[in-house]
Each structure stands twice: as structure tokens, then as C-alpha cells.
Amino acid sequence: MAVAQVVMAFGHFFFAMGWPGAMYITAAASELFGLKNFGALYNFLTIANPAGSLVFSGLIASSIYDREAEKQAQQPQ
């Protein structure tokens, strides 16, 4: 999880600096789907990362953690 956070931090830093080539994903979205709904597509791409984190950490990882914690709690000491 820490490695993923470091990679995401680098990506955000890369976008924040505004270096050439930083917006290839946005350009690809406009090339694939056109400019008619560009604002909606850009916002969808922006929300994809936090939504994926919510699903992974909030639903998948937490349910696995709770299940394993329950197994350990039921084991005789």
C-alpha cells in the first residue's frame, strides 16, 4: 500500500509541475471520445483513482482484515 501511495504522490507531483507530456491521459480521452463531453470525461478520469481506493481499502481489504481478525479471536489461547 505504501508503494502505491508513493507512486500516486509522484504522479500528482508530475501533474502539478505541468511538465511537457504530463497530460497524455487527458489527450487520449479527448482523442478517443471527442471534445463534446470532455469535461465529464476529465472528471471521470479524475474520480477513478479515489473511487478505486475506496473500493479496495473500504470494502475489499477491510472485509478480509475483519475476517482474519475474527479467526484469530476465536482461536484458543
Q: Which amino acid is at 6?
A: V
Pick the range with the lowest mean pLDDT from 8-12, 24-28, 53-57: 24-28
19-53: pLDDT as tens digits: 776 667 667 767 777 778 777 877 777 788 788 88
pLDDT at residue 25, rounded to an integer: 64
Q: Residue 68 — pLDDT band, cuts 50, 70, 90?
A: very high
Domain holding 45, by residue range, is: 2-74
pLDDT at residue 67, rounded to an integer: 92
Is the per-residue pLDDT at 1 higher than 80?
Answer: no
Q: What is the tally of structural domains in the chain? A: 1
Q: For all residues of the chain together, what is the average pLDDT?
A: 80
30: exposed, middle or buried (C-beta count within 10 Å: 0-12, 13-18, 19+)? middle
